[in-house]
Amino acid sequence: MKTKGNGYEGRVALVTGAGAADGIGFAAAKLLAEAGAKVAITSTTRRIQDRLKELPGDAASKAAFIADLSDNAEAKALVAAVKKKFGRLDILINNAGMVQTGKKNTASPVERIDDDEWRRALSLNLDTCFFVTRAAAPIMQRQRYGRIVNVSSVSGPLVTFPRGGAYCTAKAAMTGYTRSLALELAPLGITANAIAPGWIATGSQSAKEKRAGRNTPARRSGRPEEVGAVAFFLAGEAASYVTGQLIVVDGGNIIQEIKGN
């Protein structure tokens, strides 16, 4: 497939976890749509239809789906629906995870993490990525082209926090999975990279997280569109020689040993 202009025009992208207007997923989806890609977005609730209205482009160039991607059958159906509408799938941004709208989020000390909390964290943050990628990879392999971008976190691969045992384990596992994808799919023109956001000013950011953002070297939290811009680059043709990497977007926070002064 030959693309025009900037390398995004005519490409087909699927962005998961794009239901929040002020979230990383929707920020990345907007950048792709503005660049001329055909974009499918998904979340677990009907609010994704509001995001569809706000997404640049006409009805033929965009689509929205409601799906619980922790369910393998729904993940497979989602990818099939995107392929049916647009005929191909070039870009996958796995942003679904962390918490699920309308569901209780539990974070326990390591010795009190029960089976349900453990499995829930892995289901939301690892299975969602795995199920969708497993369904999408054969399409990209047949095309001999693809860009997979997994939104991980600094929490798990690089740092951790109290009561984050289950969540951090899932995010660390995501980066390992990303490297396996990169190694095996590189000969087919498919890249796989992960992004590790730090403190980002999404709508769900707590007061404590805002204070932490002010203690970064940048002295502020990041903006969703700043993470989206990294995803946008990794999703493009210009990033063809970048694969298997974890790109940190945290205002320099992990490089400072002393925080909070």
Which residues participate in catalysis according to the annotation? 167
- Nearest of 251, 123, 134, 126 to residue 196 by alpha carbon: 251
Identify any residues that bridge with 65 across adjacent strands, giving them in sequence order: 42
Rounded (5°) CA angle 144-19-232: 40
Q: Which residue in this structure is represented by tokens 């990525």?
A: 129
Residue 122's SS3 state is: helix
Q: Which residue in this structure is represented by tokens 């109290």?
A: 162
The alpha helices in 89-204, defined as continuous H runs, are 115-122, 128-143, 165-185
Long-range residue pairs from 169-175, CB within 8 A, at least 24 positions apart, any chain: 169/121, 169/122, 170/97, 170/121, 170/122, 170/124, 170/125, 170/126, 171/125, 173/122, 173/126, 174/125, 174/126, 174/129, 174/150, 175/150, 175/246
The Cα-based distances of 175 to 34, 56, 131 in angstroms read: 28, 31, 15
Residue 51 near residue 101 (C-beta atoms within 8 A): no
77: phi then psi, degrees, rounded to nearest 5: -65, -40
